[in-house]
Structure 1
């Protein structure tokens, strides 16, 4: 699986929180001990930010200080923390598109072992053709030609994780019929043909037909990401807010919703036939 700096940072934050809790120390006590070690730029709020994954790029010296405070002395264990910190500091391709990429999802996708997505009104970004992507961006009110080009470019780069030759995640998408009907006429055949041709054992697209009626995900689209060495998460977004849900109870609830929606969707072969009927 590809290295994902945001995922490494997330793992590091979780491990540091667990290490503090295992040591029985509060954030105030950690701050006091850091000051005793000569690290004066520490505060309880800084520790909270680190543990909530609200830091930008982890400093190796900060991680070393915390490892000393938590009594983590084993070379192998310390090396794992430092490895995660170094990976988290790497600059990945999407950092060059910070002006047009919003949210954490593009940075987390490369590190996932499986991605499951329910799309209601748009074709998922990982499955969009270039022409459809451009139409969506323009439909969203973007008029600057250079910005449109950069957004399309970034979207296409995101899709490289689904290349059959890449060590990417399994990907399962459920697309509501409403999203298919909203595809602009000039891009419809190409986009739907792409959804048919891209199917393979580790990449599946199902259609959620109108005949299914009201379904479990009617409240909104979502993306679920599983990770081989970390807890999963659910990503939701709207034009204003992008959110990562990683509480176990939340993940369990979204997983149940996905199962219900999957049961309402057409099977793989039925979905392919349905897609073909839209362009025949």
Structure 2
């Protein structure tokens, strides 16, 4: 890694969004702010897009220029103080690719995640044995130590479901996800039992799209919609592939996936019916 390279964190992403929001609220252009600050316009662009570090003293000057109320300014300055501290997953950065580190950062700062999965249980709901079975199928997989680090990241992500600020998760799973015996019957039974537990959390809605639905609008594959608190990042759609992830935040494309998700959850089994199917599957696997 190059010396001095800026590594985005959840705090730095929030800081960038807050600074951009404060400028826009005052109706100032980037050009005008850069001129008042004595900067090149490209520097402000990089700060507002979380592409470079920003000093606390510069944040103070910017907030003074934006006439930000003191209580809000204090909160933003505190963000600036912690923005350079590495997030928890950076200790495993050698084991997970950079494109997926971006997703983990987005998931950590998201308020809501809506997703459809056609082949496997989403990572945030996987048991360790289920996750290990999937990772062992990867061609050209890394050494065992790397897989162990990947498992630690996957397990640590699940804290967002039960923490003090839990993620609001709405997941639709194709029936094939719970029918495919990943890792064998014992591993799969444990995984389905975990799904039953998670489905009963206050901030989680879980549905199964049954085979009997037949053809449906998401037969092209899985997708995830990430939504963020007001004044933070715009909503994003994430599509995962073997060699990388694709993101889009274009309004018309995000809206297309929202409509797609609405169609899926309308056609899927309700939460109660889903839990009943999961419990029936557990019996079959026993």
TM, length-normalised to structure 1: 0.81
Counterpart pick for 2:130 among 129, 132, 138: 132
| TM alignment of 1:265-276, pairs within 5 A | 265-276=268-279
Question: Structure 1 residues 217, 7: CA separation in 2 closer, same or farther (over 3 Å shift)?
Answer: farther
Shift of 1:247: 4.6
- In structure 1, the partner of 2:3 is none
Could you tell me whether the CA contact under 8 Å between 1:110 and 1:168 is conserved in 2? no
Question: Structure 1 residues 269, 86: CA separation in 2 closer, same or farther (over 3 Å shift)?
Answer: same
Shift of 1:243: 4.2
Gaps of 5+ in 1: 36-41
Matched, 1:120 2:124: no
- In structure 2, the partner of 1:75 is 70
Three-state SS of the structure 1 residue aligned to 2:277 is helix
Could you tell me whether the CA contact under 8 Å between 1:132 and 1:183 is conserved in 2? no
Counterpart pick for 1:98 among 93, 96, 114: 93
Q: How many angstroms apart in 2 are the aligned matches of 1:6 and 1:170?
A: 21
Shift of 1:143: 3.9
Matched residue pairs, number? 267
- In structure 1, the partner of 2:211 is 210
Could you tell me whether the CA contact under 8 Å between 2:237 and 2:248 is conserved in 1? yes
Q: How many angstroms apart in 2 are the aligned matches of 1:75 and 1:272?
A: 49
| Cα deviation digits, residues 108-166 of structure 1 (max 9, x gap) | 33444333221122210111010111111121231411001111111111112223x64
Q: How many angstroms apart in 1 are the aligned matches of 2:54 and 2:271?
A: 43
Could you tell me whether the CA contact under 8 Å between 1:6 and 1:104 is conserved in 2? no
Three-state SS of the structure 2 residue aligned to 1:215 is coil
- In structure 2, the partner of 1:191 is 191
Gaps of 5+ in 2: 1-7
Q: How many angstroms apart in 1 are the aligned matches of 2:270 and 2:30?
A: 51
TM, length-normalised to structure 2: 0.79
